[in-house]
């Protein structure tokens, strides 16, 4: 069996894409099911990356008033540096494609399809208790887009219109770039955290640097960020020094861009979920203590106390207070 496996690896290696060092983007992942699993998570990250690009294009075109050509030029410029990615590249290209003099993307029905892998990742994350909100919102956004008739009706009922953003695009553009970069980091962190949790639980011992390496070429989410992950990942994207510093320095840009978009009538589900996910992950004292008190009040679900290191569970008869 090992001999047969080696033969297949040689064969697949010859026909596969190659990474920047010329190594085949193919590898042995792990026990049965693990290969399908990481492909599922790959597609989930892909959903998130596509949705973030769609959100940004919409905001730039109908908020800041950019032409498709201008937006294409922005993504093309970003693609020359650390933000290079296959999805960014094709987005820049399709914004220039015209049919009979009209932008083709504007003629396409705004109903995004899906084959199920994004939803499978979400149900797996729920099963393993892994926070997954940014990538789950990418799945939800496609579902919302599918209800075209209802959206048209509600847009009339609630008189929804985009509000033009009067702020200077030149002043905002560096911050939009930083916000986009951080949103992508969060998308990848969420996906890799799900893979690590499942790997640890099932004792798969997945090699995440190697997984990232084979994703650096020949796949839809190949990017400069993936190359960084392939060379520096240990236990979390947030532990990579350069990424850690980026999270610290630009998280306000993502938060304020989301606020700007929402206040001007733009739905930004993945970017919104991304900043909420990040803030939730870095908040030492959260609001969950109130939830535990509520649960204990109506259902005697008990709670633990911060100043009791024993981990003992308590219950209070709240009604008598």
The set of catalytic residues is: 39, 46
How many other CB atoms sit within 10 Å of the CB of residue 302? Answer: 13
Distance CA 37, CA 42 (A): 9
> Cα–Cα–Cα angle for 242, 246, 250, nearest 5°?
170
DSSP state, 107? Answer: H
- The sign of the torsion formed by the CA atoms of 217, 236, 276, 78 equals negative
Distance CA 200, CA 37 (A): 14
| Angle of helix 269-282 versus helix 133-146 axis, rounded to 10 | 160
Distance CA 234, CA 83 (A): 21
Alpha-helix residue ranges (DSSP H) falling in 203-287: 208-214, 224-232, 241-263, 269-282
3-state secondary structure 82-104: CCCEHHHHHHHHHCCCEECCEEH
- The sign of the torsion formed by the CA atoms of 174, 242, 79, 37 equals negative
Place of tokens 């610290």: 248
The token pair that represents 87 in the structure block: 């999805």
């Amino acid at each position: 069996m090992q001999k047969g496996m080696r033969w297949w690896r040689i064969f697949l290696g010859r026909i596969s894409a190659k990474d920047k060092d010329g190594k085949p983007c193919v590898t042995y992942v792990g026990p049965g099911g693990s290969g399908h699993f990481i492909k599922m998570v790959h597609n989930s990250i892909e959903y998130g990356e596509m949705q973030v690009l769609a959100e940004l294009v919409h905001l730039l075109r109908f908020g800041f008033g950019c032409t498709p050509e201008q937006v294409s030029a922005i993504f093309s410029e970003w693609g020359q540096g650390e933000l290079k990615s296959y999805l960014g590249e094709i987005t820049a290209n399709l914004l220039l494609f015209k049919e009979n003099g009209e932008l083709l993307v504007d003629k396409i029905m705004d109903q995004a399809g899906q084959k199920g892998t994004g939803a499978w990742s979400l149900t797996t994350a729920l099963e393993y208790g892994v926070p997954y909100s940014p990538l789950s919102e990418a799945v939800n956004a496609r579902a919302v887009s599918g209800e075209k008739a209802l959206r048209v009706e509600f847009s009339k009922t609630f008189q929804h219109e985009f509000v033009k953003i009067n702020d200077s695009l030149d002043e905002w553009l560096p911050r939009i770039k930083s916000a986009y970069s951080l949103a992508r980091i969060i998308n990848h962190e969420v996906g890799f955290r799900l893979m690590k949790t499942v790997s640890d639980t099932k004792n798969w011992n997945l090699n995440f640097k190697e997984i990232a390496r084979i994703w650096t070429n020949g796949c839809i989410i190949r990017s400069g960020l993936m190359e960084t992950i392939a060379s520096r990942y240990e236990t979390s994207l947030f532990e990579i020094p350069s990424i850690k510093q980026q999270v610290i320095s630009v998280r306000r840009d993502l938060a304020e861009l989301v606020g700007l978009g929402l206040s001007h009538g733009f739905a930004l589900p993945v970017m919104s979920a991304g900043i909420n996910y990040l803030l939730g992950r870095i908040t030492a004292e959260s609001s969950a203590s109130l939830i535990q008190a509520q649960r204990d009040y109506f259902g005697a679900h008990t709670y633990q106390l911060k100043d009791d290191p024993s981990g003992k569970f308590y219950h209070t008869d709240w009604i008598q207070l």
